[in-house]
Amino acid sequence: MYLDELLQADNFTLATSRIAQSFRERHGLPLLHQLGIVIPNIEAAAAELEAKGIGPFFILSGSPVFWNERRMLRDVNVKLGIAYYRGVEIELIEPVENAEFYGNHLDPGGRMVVHHLGFIVDDVDRYAEMIETEGSTTWVRGTIRTFPTTAEFAYMDTVGKAGIIVEFITMRLLGLRVPIPHAVFHALGRAEKALGIKCMPL
């Protein structure tokens, strides 16, 4: 599945709501928060989407502070770009080093691949355990800290049951689980451009 196909749909919101619809309904998942998009070059992808009126993207580069993949700790390096479109977070992901979890999904022609669906939940581990009881294991459990925010996340191996990877995310601001306004990321993206910064450290 490719991002450009969703953007070309008559109704983007409706098109995204239909992805893994039966799986989402069966498990009572919340509204879609994020489309994780794997791309080979984050600057080029961000520029292409910004030309279509999406963004600006706030771009970061570095390693999660914790990454447990298939019960093995790894040091994964990526570039991330965050912007919102019609209420959905578009997360661009460029695998840099030891990031085969993303890199194995890159399109040979460079198209923007929808890698996963992300959902904001109050407890990542509780939701992961709920999915695990039905036979879908936790693929990756990780943590990203970028002051003043912390993101706990779990990628579930739901491809066989949902047709796509599902991610659970818990966001905290200064330790408190509060929603972060979409405008914050766009403001940070504009600041990067104004200061001539390509990306901030993760």
Tens digit of pLDDT for each residue in 20-58?
999 999 999 999 999 999 999 999 999 999 999 999 999
Do 96 and 61 meet the contact criterion of CB atoms below 8 Å apart? yes
Do 96 and 123 meet the contact criterion of CB atoms below 8 Å apart? no
Residue at 32: amino acid letter: L
- Predicted local distance difference test score (pLDDT) of residue 168: 98
Tens digit of pLDDT for each residue in 115-168?
999 999 999 999 999 999 988 999 999 999 887 789 999 999 999 999 999 999
pLDDT mean over 79-97: 97
Confidence band (pLDDT; 50, 70, 90) for 68? very high
The H-or-E segment that residue 115 falls in is strand 113-120
- Predicted local distance difference test score (pLDDT) of residue 199: 83
Which of 160 and 200 is assigned the larger pLDDT?
160
pLDDT mean over 75-82: 97
pLDDT mean over 74-81: 97
Class of 3-201 per CATH?
A: alpha beta
3-class secondary structure, 155: strand
- Predicted local distance difference test score (pLDDT) of residue 197: 85
Beta strands across the sheet bearing 88-97: 72-73, 66-69, 138-146, 149-156, 165-173, 113-120, 34-38, 88-97, 77-85, 58-62, 200-201
- Predicted local distance difference test score (pLDDT) of residue 134: 87
- Predicted local distance difference test score (pLDDT) of residue 180: 80
- Predicted local distance difference test score (pLDDT) of residue 184: 86
- Predicted local distance difference test score (pLDDT) of residue 59: 96
